[in-house]
Amino acid sequence: MLKRIYILCDMLNESQKGQLRTALETERARLIENAKDGLQFSMNRERNIGRDSIDESMEEEIFSTELRLRDREKFLLGKIDEALRRIEENTINECEDCAEEIGFKRLLARPVTTYCIDCKEEREREEQSQAQQAGRSGGGSREDIGGSDELSGGNEE
Ligand SMILES: [Zn+2]
């Protein structure tokens, strides 16, 4: 007798997984191309200027631009690799927060997401209100925010 095991989240079918894989791999190829272009650009610039005339500030500027690019790309590449791994593990459509299913349409639009739309929106609201609170308190330390909200002496008549 065949016994079927059902899990909470429906697994994506092979065609859906294939679509996500393609989207992620396209994005990865694009990022790597970008990184190459950026590298070539700054290398050419260095050559054109000539080593003798490069002053320290210029060198620093090239260096920091490159670092920024690489940081961002490294971060995104990491997210893409994670998402590809989650496809193999069949957890790509499982929300990291509430374990509910992430809709396939949403995944296709944002294959690196790890939250369902509800959790994502909730997070964004939290971030926004945190940013607003931080703005009001003039960027003070975070521990001060949300402390005592004493309304002393409320009996005014
Ligand atoms: Zn969720």
Give 96 Cα–ligand 1 centroid separation in angstroms: 7
Give 28 Cα–ligand 1 centroid separation in angstroms: 26
pLDDT of 39 above 90: no
Confidence grade of residue 155 (pLDDT, cut at 50, 70, 90): very low
Give 128 Cα–ligand 1 centroid separation in angstroms: 18
Give 68 Cα–ligand 1 centroid separation in angstroms: 31
Q: Average pLDDT of 151-156?
A: 42
Give 148 Cα–ligand 1 centroid separation in angstroms: 31
Give 12 Cα–ligand 1 centroid separation in angstroms: 17
Q: What is the DSSP string of 73-130?
A: HHHHHHHHHHHHHHHHTT-TTB-TTT-PBPPHHHHHH-TT--S-HHHHHHHHHHHHHH
Residue 28 is predicted with a pLDDT of: 93
Residue 45 is predicted with a pLDDT of: 61
Instruction: Enumerate the domain spans of the chain.
Output: 14-137
- What pLDDT, in 10s, does the model give residues 50-79? 555 667 787 788 778 777 777 888 899 999
**How far is the C-alpha of 123 from the C-alpha of 117, rounded, in Å?**
10
**How far is the C-alpha of 105 from the C-alpha of 116, rounded, in Å?**
11
**How far is the C-alpha of 146 from the C-alpha of 149, rounded, in Å?**
8
- What pLDDT, in 10s, does the model give residues 73-116? 889 999 999 999 999 999 999 999 999 999 999 999 999 999 99
What pTM, to 2 d.p., does this model score? 0.64
- What is the average pLDDT value for the chain, to the nearest integer? 79
**Homologous superfamily of 14-137:** DksA, coiled-coil domain (1.20.120.910)
